[in-house]
Amino acid sequence: MAETSNARKRILSGMQPTGTGALHIGNLEGALRNWVRMQDEYEMYCCIVDWHALTTRYTESGEIWEACLQVAADYLAAGIDPKKAPVFVQSQVKEHAELHLLLSMITPLGWLERIPSFKEKRDIMVEKGEGDESISYGLMGYPCLQAADILLYRAHAVPVGKDQAAHLEISREIARRFNRLYGDVFPEPQSHISETTAVVPGLDGRKMSKSYGNAIYMADSADEVKQKVMNAFTTPTKLRKSDPGIPESCVVCQLRRVYDPEGYLTSWDEDRAGERGCVQSKRELVDILNAALEPIRLKRQEILADRAELERILADGADRARETAENTMRLVRSAMGFK
Ligand code: TYM
């Protein structure tokens, strides 16, 4: 392999420009904070995976570019430095498509069929009455495209939330299969998941997700954050202040743990002992969240005020990503016997 042992290890990660593109605090705490921490130590690539968004949004393809800009603004506002870590859009580096095609030839259908996220998406689309025609070949190949994203940079580690574990597992399986068939080209990418933020809960107690409508967004105003938190689920059996709470399953307590790692234990003890009410916990969480999100909000507004500069950053990111991607593709083509 080309890398020497003292070369900086490489990491890649990506997020989908779903909906308007704005990221939520599950994306932020589950993955993006780790990217920011890792960008100095590793050679890091920050992808915005617009082709993945197309697997379910093919009727809205015209809206995806604007959503990509929103994701880019959130990456930068959270502290990604594009000079250190290229920020780029997947569709601007065509090598993702070439590697996806080649990997699709060696990926057994059975592996894709048993991926839980495929089954989930298929069930949601059937439930919505969208019918069989909305379940495309591309949707089924989603994990294969994700494997291509990762392997194209010969990444050693991939910082993600826990919901991506199955996708990482299949990426490793595809890497192993390629290496067995054609020779050692790819390192096996390891997932990098933070324990306390592996699954950030949404306001209704399920995983925070755009599609559940239970998310707090990085771009939400202080008032929006307040309204959302004041309506969040707490312990259902805690009706009065003196009733004992169960912080382990209370959304407000869980978010407090993420945003107040030093102080949350006292509030949890009081909650359990029936010494504090949920309204007090909610009010305190609103202040803690808004204090943490305010600088990010201001920065993202500043960034979005200069679209031309943002597009320049993405074009530069794509150029740098492409260089690495081209090197990998030369190794891949040669291993497979293509010119
Ligand atoms: P996506 O866009 O759904 O989510 C982006 C990242 O945010 C994490 N995440 C969460 N973490 C904790 N708690 C939550 N509630 C929560 N919600 C989301 C996700 O785990 C992820 O790290 N398939 C990927 C996109 C992708 C990708 C890749 C990721 C495409 N190619 C290559 C890594 C490497 C996805 O849909 O993530």
If one residue of 12, 13, 15, 25 were mutated to test the ligand 1 pocket, choosing by the most ligand atoms within 8 A of its CB, it would be 15
Considering 162, 207, 241, 299, which one is annotated as catalytic? 207
Q: What is the pLDDT averaged over residues 88-117? A: 96
56 pocket-lining for ligand 1 (C-beta < 6 Å): no
User: Is residue 4 scored above 50 in pLDDT?
Assistant: no
**Of 50-59, 142-151, 251-260, 294-303, the least confident:** 50-59
User: Is residue 85 scored above 80 in pLDDT?
Assistant: yes
Spatial separation of the C-alpha atoms in residues 339 and 337, rounded to whole Å = 7
Confidence of residue 231 (pLDDT cuts 50, 70, 90): very high
User: pLDDT per residue over 260-308, tens digit each?
Assistant: 999 999 999 999 999 999 999 999 999 999 999 999 999 999 999 999 9
277 pocket-lining for ligand 1 (C-beta < 6 Å): no
Asked whether the beta carbons of 57 and 65 are under 8 A apart, the reply is no
171 pocket-lining for ligand 1 (C-beta < 6 Å): no
Confidence of residue 1 (pLDDT cuts 50, 70, 90): very low
Spatial separation of the C-alpha atoms in residues 10 and 1, rounded to whole Å = 14
Q: Which residue has the tokens 């312990």?
A: 235
Instruction: Give me the chain's average pLDDT, please.
Output: 95
- Let me know if 94 is a catalytic residue: no
Confidence (pLDDT) at 88: 98
Largest CA-CA distance found in the chain, in angstroms, rounded: 74
Q: How far is the CA of 171 from the centre of ligand 1 (A)?
A: 14
78 pocket-lining for ligand 1 (C-beta < 6 Å): no
- Let me know if 207 is a catalytic residue: yes
User: Is residue 52 scored above 70 in pLDDT?
Assistant: yes
Residue 18 CB partners (closer than 8 Å, separation 6+): 53, 57, 67, 210, 211
Q: Is the dihedral of CA 25, 27, 30, 31 positive or negative?
A: negative
Asked whether the beta carbons of 303 and 78 are under 8 A apart, the reply is no
Confidence (pLDDT) at 135: 84
Three-class SS state of 15: strand
324 pocket-lining for ligand 1 (C-beta < 6 Å): no
Spatial separation of the C-alpha atoms in residues 213 and 225, rounded to whole Å = 14
Q: How far is the CA of 26 from the centre of ligand 1 (A)?
A: 9
Confidence (pLDDT) at 128: 79
User: pLDDT per residue over 125-138, tens digit each?
Assistant: 778 787 777 788 99
What is the atom index within ligand 1 of the atom nearest the CA of 145?
A: 31
* Predicted model pTM: 0.95
- Percentage of residues of the chain with pLDDT beyond 90: 89
258 pocket-lining for ligand 1 (C-beta < 6 Å): no
Q: How far is the CA of 27 from the centre of ligand 1 (A)?
A: 7
**Exposure class string for 303-327: b at 16+ Cβ within 10 A, else e:** bbeeeeebeebbeebbebbbebbee
User: pLDDT per residue over 66-81, tens digit each?
Assistant: 999 999 999 999 999 9
User: pLDDT per residue over 171-192, tens digit each?
Assistant: 999 999 999 999 999 999 999 9
Confidence (pLDDT) at 338: 97
Residue 107 CB partners (closer than 8 Å, separation 6+): 141, 144, 147, 174, 177
Q: How far is the CA of 15 from the centre of ligand 1 (A)?
A: 5
Q: Comparing 216 with 123, which gets the higher pLDDT?
A: 216
245 pocket-lining for ligand 1 (C-beta < 6 Å): no
Confidence (pLDDT) at 118: 85
Asked whether the beta carbons of 47 and 112 are under 8 A apart, the reply is no
Confidence of residue 116 (pLDDT cuts 50, 70, 90): confident
Confidence of residue 314 (pLDDT cuts 50, 70, 90): very high
- Let me know if 121 is a catalytic residue: yes
Confidence (pLDDT) at 2: 46
**Of 38-47, 65-74, 114-123, 270-279, the least confident:** 114-123
Cα end-to-end span (Å), the chain: 19
Residue 206 CB partners (closer than 8 Å, separation 6+): 212, 214
Q: How far is the CA of 13 from the centre of ligand 1 (A)?
A: 8
